[in-house]
Chain A
Amino acid sequence: MDGSADPPLVEVSDLSVEFVSREATVHAVNSISFAARRGEVLCILGESGSGKSVTLRSLIRLLPRNARVDGSVRVNGRDVLAMGARELRDLRGGLVAMVFQEPMTALDPVYTIGQQISETVRRHIAGDRQAARERALELLELVGIPSAGRRLDAYPHELSGGLRQRAIIAMALSCNPQLLLADEPTTALDATVQVQVLILLRRLQRELGMGMIFVTHDLGVAAEIADTIAVMYAGRIVETGPVAQVLSDPLHPYTAGLLASTVHGQHRDRDIDAIPGSPPDMRRLPQGCSFAPRCTRRSAACRTIVPEPRFPSPGRMVSCLNLPVRVE
């Protein structure tokens, strides 16, 4: 992992996102900082409401109107939060592309797959209809859609879930993005199809040398695809590190709790070590560490102080006041 002279592909610092409505303010993302490098897969792992999808969407400012964004987001050295509408349109689908969770709703039901891919190609790379169609065909073959020529003229409803997701990936890749954002792209798929799409994404990311930020709630999926993992809880990144290290030696009590409570080969006669309680209300976050009310390691200070990030070893970050003794 060299390239330290290069600026990171993505550099986020002190990003906060709030959703303001008449009744309440939802503190979805609370002052997070992270970086992602070219040619690497960063997995953002978190449960529902942890702010992982909002973080991902912030990178291309794909947020509703009532969102209040603060901090800085730089992609390829350019300040995304300062971009005008035209620049933003060029960024989305050009330098940065996105794959969504729901393959049916991310496609327009009244246009064929070929038309939808061609449209993107022609928007970003000038070209005539025929050239765009040829590019679309090439892309469908790249993502492993069988009899791609025929599928070019298929409507979304004529494809299975797995093929639809492949078509969306093809569309995302159409303008050679340097950064691919993936928001739970395999969650809606069946197990046997999910693994096919994961292998495909990994292969494409490597072959095309893209950076990828992959959002998931599933530890198993993260283990399959991530180089680096960032664990989010209640709108904050609580732990970051190389995936193998984080999964084998979690430092934050939430990461450890998540690993212990994920069912994978536990003894049938014993209870699973569940994390007690439930995630906090994002409208009324507790003072101090948001995980403290559910934490077995908490001390009095956890209730008042938001822990600063600490860097116990190269590449690893954890925000916790009470780290295991071996780390201290």
Chain B
Amino acid sequence: MALAPLLDPLVIDPRDRGGPAQPLLIARELRKHFPVKGARGKSVQAVDGVSFTVRKGETLGIVGESGCGKSTLARLLLHLVVPDDGELVFDGEAVGTSGGIAINALRRQVQIVFQDSYSSLNPRMPVRDSVAFGPFIQGRKKAEARDIARDILAKVGLDADLFGPRYPHELSGGQKQRVNIARALATGPRMVILDEPVSALDKSVEAQVLNLLRALKRQLNLTYVFISHDLNVVRYISDRVLVMYLGRVVELGPVEMIFDRPLHPYTRALLASRPSMDPARRIEEPPIIGDPPNPIDPPSGCRFRTRCPFAEPVCESTAPPLGEWLGMTSHIAACHMQDPGSGHSRAGRA
């Protein structure tokens, strides 16, 4: 497929305001609790004080098990779900405040691709119209929007004449996900949030879509937030990785550090739970036992303590801080064993 770059990576994006060192997105203490119907005062603590940055041009991988809040977090970043508390800063401008960047303007620059490729497309609209809809709604003329759709469909590897007039049900899962990627890219975003974009696809098609995402990132100078439960995929695609457990960040660092020298016992357990792909090296003992607890009533202190083999009284009484952010390659974990002053007997040794 022919792919002409929209933006030369060497030329600075005219929309770039803060310069290359300014993180594209800063999330500070984001919080979202969903009230539980019929249970007074109870709420699902989906995201509970999450802070991180996304640098220009990187892929930040977010991993965690079901119920850890990763999908809620994705929606918070676009204000598809309005945070209860916390702050978002996009390229130096606070989101949704006077003097900052408006939500609509944010959504022009940040787009999202969801896991379920079928339900994210309008079943009664030919896919070229779905792709053209974004640019049209954002003020382009109809003919212009159509041209953009043609161009972008070609970029995701779909012949616009052949596939453009089709309806979602006439496409395979992989083709539908390509359309969703095209739809997200049609407004010319700088950042794309990919929420389990390949999880519903067969392995042979998953590889095609991952290759496509990597190529598009290079050609269009994009920044990705890539959410997945598949650690192998996250390792392949991410520059940095954020590990979530029950609504909180437990570890954050460069991809090699997370995979080769994980600090948090949860990250270690998660890595050790990966099938080996080698029948001669099967997992003989479960790395951790039990299921993740219910996010309605999370454990006090460190939320992982109920499944952690190293839990001590301090883990129950005090929530461990995430550690201090130190420069570009910083690798931090929210664990009392990382903090020499925490009072944990293994502090500073693990």
Contacts and interface: CB of A to CB of B under 8 A. Distances in A.
B236 to A, nearest CB: 5
B201 to A, nearest CB: 9
Contacts of B286: 192, 195-196, 199
**For this complex, into which size category does the number of interface residues on chain B fall?**
35 or more
B297 interface: no
Given A191-B65, A195-B273, A223 B282 contact: yes
A271 B236 CA distance: 10
B270 A192 contact: yes
Given A162-B291, A220-B276, A263-B232, A274 B283 contact: no
Contact of A162 (B274, B280, B290): B290
A327 B102 CA distance: 64
B258 to A, nearest CB: 13
B4 to A, nearest CB: 19
A194 B273 contact: yes
A8 interface: no
A29 to B, nearest CB: 18
A304 interface: no
A273 B208 CA distance: 8
Interface in A127-176: 160-163
Contact of A271 (B66, B206, B214, B291): B214
Nearest to A146: B290
A191 B274 contact: yes
The residue in B204, B229, B290, B292 that gathers the most chain A C-beta atoms within 10 A of its C-beta is B204
B294 to A, nearest CB: 8
A81 interface: no
A202 B4 CA distance: 52
A193 interface: yes
B277 A247 contact: yes
Given A192-B65, A195-B273, A264-B232, A224 B282 contact: yes
Given A220-B277, A279-B172, 17 more contacts: A160-B290, A160-B291, A161-B66, A191-B274, A192-B288, A199-B283, A199-B285, A223-B279, A224-B283, A263-B206, A266-B236, A272-B210, A273-B207, A275-B204, A275-B207, A276-B208, A278-B175
